[in-house]
Structure 1
Amino acid sequence: MKAKPRVAAFFDVDETVIRGASSWILTRELFRHRFFGVSDLFFAARHAFMYVVLGEDQNRIEHVKNRALRVMAGHSRQEIMAISEQVCDLLEKKLFPQAQGLIKRHLAAGHDIWLISAAPAELPQMLAERLGLTGGIGTQIAVKDGVYQPQLASELMHSQGKRETVIALAKERGYDLTQCFAYSDSDNDMPLLTLVGKPSAINPDIWLRVRAFQRGWPVIDFRRRSRISKILQKVKARRRGLELKGLDQ
């Protein structure tokens, strides 16, 4: 009897699995631990805001990457791992409940599940471990004698970098990519989404929304459902308040 092909689901992290940008949360924690000054924090905040408003941009990502490498250089990996634990505590609070439900369905189906992000590799790896997933893939910063160096040890895990990494992983693990799933919010992940047989757009930016519509891909918006849910909760709470007030009269 022929064995079933191995299937994997690849999840982008920011605005797909969690609300917001994991790199910004990491930046805030690094600032709190005095890795850098106020000017660097404002730089990161501005780019985090532009990411939310305008989506990802290759030139901006390159600029942020170079500045981040200068910040990390000279610090021990042990320091970063300790801070990453704190960051993951915050990330878990930002998980979209719908994403958690989707992940559970893949787990129930026996699929491997990978988080894949441009953030430093420690974050997706640690978050994946906490969620009981197969693994996390991120950008690896060079380390020498336990200390970070001002250069990368891998491709930037973004756009084409994600695609090439997943191709290599599929060969290593025996995945049938035509049966695999991929989820992302960003048009920059088109190289990954077009690689698998079952792509979906989650909370997509405008360009990915258009491309997904053109290709007939599923489009899922967790944020819209979250807003509707909050409105309904407020309406229910108001009704309960009115009911209680009526009982007091």
Structure 2
Amino acid sequence: MALALFDLDHTLINGDSDLAWGEFMVEQGIADASFLDAHEAYFDQYVQGTLDIDEFLNFALEPLGKHPRQALDNWHQRFMQQKIEPMFQPKAEELLNYHRQRGDVLVIITATNAFVTTPIAQRLNVDQLIATTPEEVNNEYTGKPFGIPCFQAGKVKRLHAWLEQTHHSLAGSFFYSDSHNDLPLLESVENPVVVDPDQQLNQIAEQRGWPVISLR
């Protein structure tokens, strides 16, 4: 039994759930168009590898602090139907089932915050989720991040904290990702697998002989 770790956006799903949440909020009138413009600019920085994760999280999580949890959860149900369901990929679910049949422990590990991603992980029947954590007080979001962002080297730190809590190990481990931002974690597992990669990660995979697959 090994760990099978999966990035979410552009890996298990064909799209970016964080950016899609921004689009949804604008379409629903929860945020104005300037919010999406700024979100897209941050996404471009992510692609280029220049994203200031703390600055981005303070921006992206701020709307969660402006609305009651019940309203957010209701909006998220519509968001799943309208934005996320079209992003699911049959080959991704086949890959998850392959690791289930092996008896592996499935973990989604993502920079996108847990408010957005928890229902997605549940829909994919993956019980273990390691994600950037929005701060909560009395079961309401404050609009601020909490703890170490699950991004770049932070993914490795968050994973090792989880390993200490659960007593799992990286022996025989797999990690599937599309992004060069995940290079620190790809280098930490025994079986890195590159999925529909960005140009930079594709070049690295070719240099290192890592397998490259497509789930699209």
Q: State whether TM-score is above 0.5.
A: yes
Q: Distance in 1 between matches of 2:200 and 2:11?
A: 16
**1:20-169 matched pairs, under 5 angstroms:** 20-48=15-43, 50=44, 55-59=47-51, 61-89=53-81, 90-169=83-162
Q: Distance in 2 between matches of 1:197 and 1:110?
A: 17
| Amino acid across the alignment from 1:22 | S
| 1:239 aligned residue | none
| Identity between Structure 1 and Structure 2 (%) | 28
Query: 1:65: Cα distance to partner?
Result: 2.1
TM-score where L is the length of structure 2: 0.89
> In terms of Rg, which structure is larger?
1
- The worse-fitting range, judged by mean Cα deviation, of 207-216 and 82-91 is 82-91
Query: 1:61: Cα distance to partner?
Result: 4.4
Q: Show structure 2 runs of 5+ residues with no match.
A: none
Q: Distance in 1 between matches of 2:14 and 2:89?
A: 7
| Amino acid across the alignment from 1:14 | D
Aligned length: 215
| 1:196 aligned residue | 189
| Amino acid across the alignment from 1:80 | L
Q: Distance in 2 between matches of 1:56 and 1:10?
A: 23
Please state if 1:207 is matched with 2:210.
Answer: no
Which of 197, 216, 227 is 2:209 aligned to? 216
**1:234-249 matched pairs, under 5 angstroms:** none
| Amino acid across the alignment from 2:95 | L
Q: Cα RMSD between the aligned structures?
A: 2.1
Distance 1:58 1:65, change over 3 A: farther
Q: Pick 1 or 2: higher relative contact order, CA cutoff 8 A, min separation 6.
A: 2
Distance 1:131 1:69, change over 3 A: closer
Q: Distance in 1 between matches of 2:61 and 2:125?
A: 29
TM-score where L is the length of structure 1: 0.78
More helix by share: 1
Structure 2 contact 13–89 (Cα < 8 Å) conserved: yes
Q: Distance in 1 between matches of 2:134 and 2:168?
A: 27
Structure 1 contact 117–157 (Cα < 8 Å) conserved: yes
